[in-house]
Amino acid sequence: MSKVIFSNISKRFPGASGAAAGLAVDRLNLVIEEGTLVTLLGPSGCGKTTTLRMLAGFETPSDGAITIGGRDVTNVPVNARNVGMVFQSYALFPHMTVRENVEYGVRLLNLPRHEMTDRVSSVLATMALETYADRSPSRLSGGQQQRVALARAVVTQPKVLLFDEPLSNLDAQLRERMRDELRAIQLRLGITSLYVTHDQSEAMAISDRVVVMRNGIIEQDDTPLNVYSRPGTGFVAEFMGKANILQGRVETTDESTVSIRIASTVAFTLPRGNRAFKPGEQVRCVVRPEHIRVDADGAMQAKVRRVVFQGAYVEYLTDLEGQECVFLDSDYYRTGVAEVGQMLRLSVDTQPVWILPNNEAADMGKAA
């Protein structure tokens, strides 16, 4: 059993000034279920790397406790935690061959010799590294180095696997392939994993759960699907890809739906779930750019302010009665590209529109 639990973890770095600035991680509670991969996602300085390094044992929490499989490891040194880690820079030992790199950790387990060689060869085989086993890591490509780093991290059969932005040194194409490879191996081995990245699409593609962090606190901890389509805060909505956050006013509400007016030409009628709304209340709606399209019969009218041609689509920034609204048009070859100043008729697919919970004011109070 290697479920990971962070209970009320805070980390204060000495020297930082200001009450909030000194706290890199602020009373964080997080559970990583056995065998799942959880991603910490957020902008730089949000506390995600500090959280990972506290689980690794490089940093000690100022407060709170961390357990791995029920064992309190808060004060256990790194080398006694049995965690595997894949570093951003790979951190391969440059003076050892690929095989020696992989063997390094296994040697420290004091296993019988044959078991040691078995383990090393089977991991090298799994990662398709056998042909490179006696090369120096500096003579491998970025993707191969990445595999060596992973092989070295998993060969000791760690309880927890940690990834510190492991793909950020690879070019875009390789990054996607390695991402899928990492996930496949993690699933196959069933190792409980914590993954840190600032790339939201990487986070969504690889994780069982995505934890969005900001200023040392968790903004949202949910499945990739929910974090994207049902963001808990405006910050999450905007961090998980392009989003229009449109101000609106509740017009009417009944047992199952709520009608919200965004502009004179736009109103949404949405299912209200179990949330209560009062007519006249101000709400914010998240509308993803891909859910707005050019439509000659559409009711919504917006004025083009900027046009960016991207090849596969045209990105428009429009003015919707004072609110900024971005959308993508991939049908431009049929309808032509609009010009700045032109009024466009648009329609919105209302089904994916999401009403943000009205707790932002409370959040602000907490941060201040």
Is residue 29 a contact residue for other proteins (CB under 8 A)? no
Enumerate residues 6+ apart whose C-beta is below 8 A from 113.
Answer: none
Is residue 136 a contact residue for other proteins (CB under 8 A)? yes
Distance CA 183, CA 39 (A): 12
Contact 188, 131 (CB under 8 A): no
Exactly one of 31, 71, 122, 134 binds other proteins (CB under 8 A); that residue is 71
Is residue 16 a contact residue for other proteins (CB under 8 A)? no
Exactly one of 8, 29, 89, 247 binds other proteins (CB under 8 A); that residue is 89
- Which of these ranges, 57-65, 174-182, 268-276, 337-345, lies near other proteins under the rule CB under 8 A? 57-65
Write the binding mask 147 to 176 for other proteins: x where contact by CB under 8 A, - elsewhere: -----xx--xxxx--x-x------------
Positions in 196-215 near other proteins (CB under 8 A): none
Is residue 88 a contact residue for other proteins (CB under 8 A)? yes
List the beta bridge partners of residue 218.
213
Dig out the tokens for 338 from the structure: 């609009």
Integer Rg of the chain from CA: 25
Is residue 75 a contact residue for other proteins (CB under 8 A)? yes
Distance CA 246, CA 262 (A): 7
Distance CA 81, CA 101 (A): 19
Is residue 104 a contact residue for other proteins (CB under 8 A)? yes
Is residue 307 a contact residue for other proteins (CB under 8 A)? no
What order of strands is seen across the sheet that includes strand 343-348? 292-294, 343-348, 300-309, 314-320, 323-329
Which residues here bind other proteins, judged by CB under 8 A?
56-58, 60-61, 63, 65, 69, 71-85, 87-89, 91-95, 104-105, 108-109, 111, 136, 138-139, 152-153, 156-159, 162, 164
